[in-house]
Amino acid sequence: TLAYCDSLLKVRQNELPTASKQFVFQKDPQYESIGHYIPKTQLTENNYGRTYLQAKVDERGRLVLTSYYAGNKAINHTKIRASVKGGLFAESTAVPQDGALNYTFKDGGRQYEIVRFTNKTENGLINFILIHLEAPITIELVGKQKGSYQLTNQDKQALKATTNLSAILTDINRLLNEIRLSQAKLDYLYTKQHGVAFDDSLQ
């Protein structure tokens, strides 16, 4: 197990530099213990005032999908739906506003809303988008009011790249944990065997 994990870990670690080239790593040591990789095309400061779906992944490989809304009126959306022609769709579960990660605010007379979805709340939305990358995808914001827009090719590719990076980071963290566990078992067995041998010599 140790040899297998060590070999695969090297493969995944070698893939990381290339996979992360399209991203910017952000971490505020004062407030965050874990940093995030964000696609360069989806940096918040470069997309202010745009309604879009941002994908980012933390150092452990956990992917977060964030719905950004900017408009003249409040929608108060708590979930999103992705659909394609023919009626097929996937819909997240509802994520209520909490004033911290999910909130609304006004700036310059415009309304802004931010809703974050994790693997527990995106509810298959990511896989649905990845399966239909070549098709026009409509994103619908569902709340007290409704709004919709077409997912851009740039945002589709950002999600695809983020999913790939997520898989690599998840594998790296899983393999590191397995290596630590395997090494701990080897140390335990060695200590146990050594102890038995020592006791036998005293008899």
* pLDDT one-digit tens code per residue, 7-44: 999 999 999 999 999 999 999 888 888 999 999 999 99
SS3 88: coil
pLDDT of 110 above 80 = yes
Look up the pTM and report it. Answer: 0.87
Share of the chain above pLDDT 90, in %: 79
Q: Which amino acid is at 87?
A: G
Describe the strand order of the beta sheet including 63-71 as a list of residue ranges.
23-26, 36-39, 52-58, 63-71, 110-117, 103-107
Q: How many CA atoms lie within 13 A of 144 on its CB side?
A: 7
pLDDT digits (tens, 9 = 90+) for 66-84: 999 999 999 999 999 999 9
Q: Vertex 38, ends 142 and 75: CA angle to 5°?
A: 20
Q: Which of 103-141 are b and which e, b meaning 16 or more Cβ less than 10 Å from the residue's Cβ?
A: ebeeeeeebbbbbbbeeebbbebbebbeebeeeebebbb
Q: How far apart are CA 106 and CA 87, in angstroms?
A: 34
Res 55: pLDDT = 97
| pLDDT band, very low/low/confident/very high, at 198 (cuts 50, 70, 90) | very low
Res 187: pLDDT = 80
| pLDDT band, very low/low/confident/very high, at 190 (cuts 50, 70, 90) | confident
Res 47: pLDDT = 96
